[in-house]
């Protein structure tokens, strides 16, 4: 089932590399993402309320603000979640474990959002949770910090830390950039470990072996007994397998089903890191996530969302 261990894995997908002429020709750039914005879609989680009360952006300026910052981000990387406006749905909030996570953070716990992008899940937590934000960390291979502050207008209030690092790199203690405070923060995290490691829409960019490698790095770098590694990604209802994504420039990715992603933690990550995990996952349909089959027709048939949680038990 697993692909060759000697395969080289790119830290970032080729299809997401900056492409300045791409607005006209990428299937996953939708010029108008107003339909993903609060008033038009009640399930949208970057709500008018959050932009209004947390970011202090008046309702009549929100659409322009969202499109402007989305295009700022698109000039840096051309991810589908940027192009179609999926980042407007911070996904942690949809997880049944969300209230437990908030409780953990209220009690002084630490959460790392891996592949944080503009830190939208962290801001949603800050808004919902009445929690100390200094225990929130965002890790990403790209430095999105300034774009995130532009979007949420909270540079003076948000106390979380954003660190630029590659989760595929051999040692997670390797910060990209020379900021010594960030280097110290990452070193501290790898020593103290985290209560929750959240990773949304990232692991699916790799094949089986790439996902095992990245997940094992997170387990070895940030987990202690009791840590939850949880998140979601695109999966399949048609049996776990590698798919070729023609629309994403021919990229190949491993599509998990609920069983295979749980097995990845309980068997592969466990064996590779000398740890023990209890994992579970569930399918969330395209419709349950507030999208239509038409929205995802450029992806593989049977594509769905997969929500997973793995708890380290030894």
Ligand X SMILES: C[S@@+](CC[C@H](N)C(=O)[O-])C[C@H]1O[C@@H](n2cnc3c(N)ncnc32)[C@H](O)[C@@H]1O
Q: Which residues bind ligand X (CB under 6 A)?
A: 11-12, 77, 79, 81, 87, 91, 115, 117, 140-142, 166-168, 200-202
Q: Which is nearer to ligand X, 131 or 199 (CB)?
A: 199
- Closest approach, Cβ 32 to ligand X, in A, equals 19
- Closest approach, Cβ 83 to ligand X, in A, equals 10
Q: Which is nearer to ligand X, 145 or 166 (CB)?
A: 166
Q: Which is nearer to ligand X, 104 or 232 (CB)?
A: 232
Q: Which is nearer to ligand X, 176 or 272 (CB)?
A: 176
- Closest approach, Cβ 121 to ligand X, in A, equals 7
Mutual orientation of helices 145-152 and 120-129 as an angle, nearest 10°?
A: 40
- Closest approach, Cβ 279 to ligand X, in A, equals 19
* Residues facing 254 on adjacent strands: 242
- Closest approach, Cβ 206 to ligand X, in A, equals 9
Q: Which is nearer to ligand X, 109 or 148 (CB)?
A: 148
Q: Which is nearer to ligand X, 266 or 283 (CB)?
A: 283
- Closest-by-Cβ residue to ligand X is 115
- Closest approach, Cβ 199 to ligand X, in A, equals 7
């Amino acid at each position: 089932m697993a692909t060759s261990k000697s395969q080289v894995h790119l830290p970032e997908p080729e299809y997401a590399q900056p492409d300045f002429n791409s607005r006209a020709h990428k299937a996953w750039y939708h010029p108008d993402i107003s339909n993903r914005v609060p008033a038009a879609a009640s399930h949208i989680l970057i709500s008018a309320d959050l932009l209004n009360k947390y970011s202090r952006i008046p309702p009549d300026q929100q659409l322009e603000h969202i499109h402007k910052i989305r295009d700022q981000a698109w000039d840096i990387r051309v991810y589908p979640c940027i192009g179609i406006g999926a980042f407007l749905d911070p996904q942690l909030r949809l997880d049944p474990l969300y209230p437990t996570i908030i409780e953990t953070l209220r009690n002084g716990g630490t959460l790392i959002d891996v592949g944080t992008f503009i830190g939208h899940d962290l801001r949603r937590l800050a808004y919902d949770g009445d929690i100390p934000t200094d225990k929130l960390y965002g890790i990403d291979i790209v430095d999105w910090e300034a774009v995130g502050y532009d979007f949420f207008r909270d540079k003076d209030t948000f106390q979380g830390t954003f660190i630029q690092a590659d989760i595929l790199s051999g040692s997670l203690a390797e910060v990209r950039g020379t900021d010594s405070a960030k280097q110290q923060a990452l070193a501290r995290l790898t020593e103290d470990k985290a209560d929750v490691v959240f990773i949304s829409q990232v692991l699916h960019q790799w094949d089986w072996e790439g996902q095992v490698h990245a997940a094992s790095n997170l387990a070895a770098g940030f987990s202690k007994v009791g840590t939850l590694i949880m998140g979601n990604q695109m999966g399949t209802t048609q049996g776990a397998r590698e798919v070729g994504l023609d629309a994403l420039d021919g990229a190949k990715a491993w599509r998990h089903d609920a069983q295979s992603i749980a097995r990845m933690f309980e068997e592969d990550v466990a064996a590779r890191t000398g740890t023990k995990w209890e994992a579970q996952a569930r399918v969330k349909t395209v419709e349950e996530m507030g999208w239509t089959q038409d929205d995802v027709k450029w992806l593989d048939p049977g594509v769905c969302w997969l929500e997973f949680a793995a708890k380290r038990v030894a």
